[in-house]
Chains A and B, each alone.
Chain A
Amino acid sequence: MIEIEELTKAYGRNEVLAGFSLSVAEGESVALWGPNGAGKTTVVRCLLGLVGYEGTIKLDGVDVRRKPKRTRSRIGYVAQELAFYDDLTVVELLDFSADLRRLGTDRVDAVIDEVAIGDHVDKRVAELSGGLKQRLGLAVALLPDPPVLLLDEPTSNLDAAAREKAIRLLDRLRRNGRTMLVTSHHMEEVGMLVDRVIGMEEGRITIECDPTDLAERLGIRAWLQLVLTNGSTEQAVDILTTAGFTARRNRRGVLVEVPAQGKGRAVAMVQGAGIEIEDLEVWR
């Protein structure tokens, strides 16, 4: 569905992408993962034909450089910066976007329901919070019911509840066969939404893996907060430290550093010593 070959892009002397190649199959969902400046957003902008580039990008066999309008008509895009026309109201913006794509008001009504912004349709875009803007961005992207979704940090401005809803919505779209390219910093988002993760650094692919392996491949570690029965925290710290974990007491119990994919071993060791764990939380 998406074929990127030897994509190279520089802003002035700053080379952002250096021979980046990627193939995304129809119905596949791929995440671009990496630090700020890795080139993830530039890949997305190249796909939309918003920036000039060297190399080849094809969407469904159509060259993006030669037929930018045709390729964009098949793409729904959520931008990272959430810039719209601030003076329009939410419904006016959606109507404008629908007009540009020859869509009827039924689609506008549908996406308003889908992203739950019905209570805000008469507000000016400038008046919306970051979270509402993000939902508006999703609504604009979903308006044409596109086969391809380019999602540049699609939930970064959402609170926990709204993020969960957005992820559920996107997951449903993925299951319905949408091809998705997602840039993200959120592990849970990647874990739920994508089939494959492409790690990027300085415009190059550094790793390619299954989302479940990402944390381990990146060497990401987590902190496990164990809430224990009274009087057993010192004993738990001793057990964990002896076993090679970094562990310390805190106000709520014991905090122990664990591999992102190996949290169970620490829990099992504490429980194995007969200490009751009342509750636990994972911090990344």
Chain B
Amino acid sequence: MTTISVPRAERPELRIIAVVARKELRDAIRSKWFWLWAGAFGGLAALIANIALPGSQVAEFGNFGRTAASLVSLVQVIIPLMGLTLGAQSLAGQRESGALRFLLSHPVSRSEAFWGTYLGLAGALLATAAAGFGAAGLITGLQGSGADAGSFVRIAALSWVLAVTMLGIGMLISTFTNRAGAALGTAVFVWLTFAFLGDIGLMGTSIATDMPVSALFFAALANPVEAFRLASLTAFSGSLDILGPAGTYAVDRLGEQLDTILLATTVVWAAVPAGLAAVRFNRSKDF
């Protein structure tokens, strides 16, 4: 009997991914940008927590709910910029400097290099988010009861998911160029689109095309920042009335499924760009 030997593909090793991730995390935490971001986010979050508590207009929420509601606006501006720029500079920067070639001259596969980098940077973003929410949580906790603490933690977790979503999109941008500057420029443009222009574009499109409210709701989910905002709003109010007819439609029509749909959307947003970036990186011909 003839045995046909089929070459086995080299499987990624978690150990190597962990070694690369540890180095990336250490590099990120050493960089002045990390401390700038963590300081700015932590400082602003602490300030917002201080302002939100005494005279809050969001009277129906507990202390943590008020702080979390106030932090959503900060998160949807700062966290995407942080994740996008960090991701965009990662692979392109290492390609530009030649460091990626150094790494890949070791017994390290492309997917191990990619996921190690991704996880290390995701860890750095977790540390930044923890700095912001930790500072705000500490101030809130010291000033009152622990009411709505669950919602606060959930929004903190959603913020990190938004951060890794943006990291994935940034790294996807990074696979298209060898120049860190070009990747960074593109990332800033994408941030503007998600954080500001997306809303304006959606409003304009809905008016110009007389978009039905059902479509308007789902179109909003096409923006990961908006998906985060919607998932956050439902976390502490269970309602999307603040969005007007589209929000009312979503709550009425989707009912209990709304929460699941929003969470699933944020998870899909986190997974798909990172997955696409990994595929593109693995298929790169030359380093």
Q: Which residues of A contact B (CB under 8 A)?
A: 11, 45, 48-52, 63, 66-70, 72-73, 75, 77, 79, 81, 83-88, 96-97, 99-102, 140
Q: State A166–B137 Cα separation when bound (angstroms).
A: 58
Asked if B19 lies at the interface with its beta carbon under 8 angstroms from chain A, I say: yes
Interface residues of B in 75-97 (CB under 8 A from A): 97
Q: Which residues of B contact A (CB under 8 A)?
A: 7, 10, 15-16, 19-20, 23, 27, 30-31, 97-99, 101-102, 104-109, 285-287
Query: Which residue of chain B is the closest to A11 with respect to CB atoms?
Result: B286
> Residues of A contacting B102 with CB < 8 Å?
79, 83-85, 140
Once A67-B7, A67-B10, A69-B10 are accepted as A-B contacts, the answer to whether A50 and B105 lie under 8 Å apart by CB is yes
Once A48-B105, A50-B104, A101-B107 are accepted as A-B contacts, the answer to whether A85 and B287 lie under 8 Å apart by CB is no
Known: A67-B7, A72-B105; 16 extra A-B contacts, CB below 8 A, are A50-B105, A50-B286, A50-B287, A51-B287, A69-B109, A70-B10, A72-B106, A73-B107, A79-B101, A81-B98, A81-B101, A83-B97, A84-B99, A87-B27, A88-B27, A102-B15
> Residues of B contacting A85 with CB < 8 Å?
23, 27, 99, 102
> Out of B31, B101, B107, which one reaches A83, CB within 8 Å?
B101
A100 touching B286, Cβ below 8 Å:
no
Once A96-B19, A100-B16 are accepted as A-B contacts, the answer to whether A52 and B10 lie under 8 Å apart by CB is no
Q: How many A-B residue pairs have CB under 8 A?
A: 72
> Residues of A contacting B7 with CB < 8 Å?
63, 66-67
> Residues of A contacting B16 with CB < 8 Å?
100
Query: Which residue of chain B is the closest to A53 with respect to CB atoms?
Result: B285
> Residues of B contacting A70 with CB < 8 Å?
10, 107
Q: State A172–B106 Cα separation when bound (angstroms).
A: 24
- Kindly provide the distance from the CB of A156 to the nearest chain B CB, expressed in whole angstroms: 15
- Kindly provide the distance from the CB of A46 to the nearest chain B CB, expressed in whole angstroms: 10
> Residues of A contacting B10 with CB < 8 Å?
67-70
| Residue with the highest number of chain A CB atoms closer than 10 Å, among B31, B102, B106, B287 | B106
Question: Can you list 18 A-B pairs with a CB-CB distance of less than 8 A?
Answer: A11-B286, A49-B104, A51-B286, A52-B285, A63-B7, A67-B10, A68-B109, A69-B10, A70-B107, A72-B105, A73-B107, A75-B105, A77-B105, A79-B101, A83-B97, A83-B98, A97-B106, A100-B108
- Kindly provide the distance from the CB of B109 to the nearest chain A CB, expressed in whole angstroms: 6
Query: Which residue of chain B is the closest to A9 with respect to CB atoms?
Result: B286
| Residue with the highest number of chain A CB atoms closer than 10 Å, among B102, B105, B109 | B105
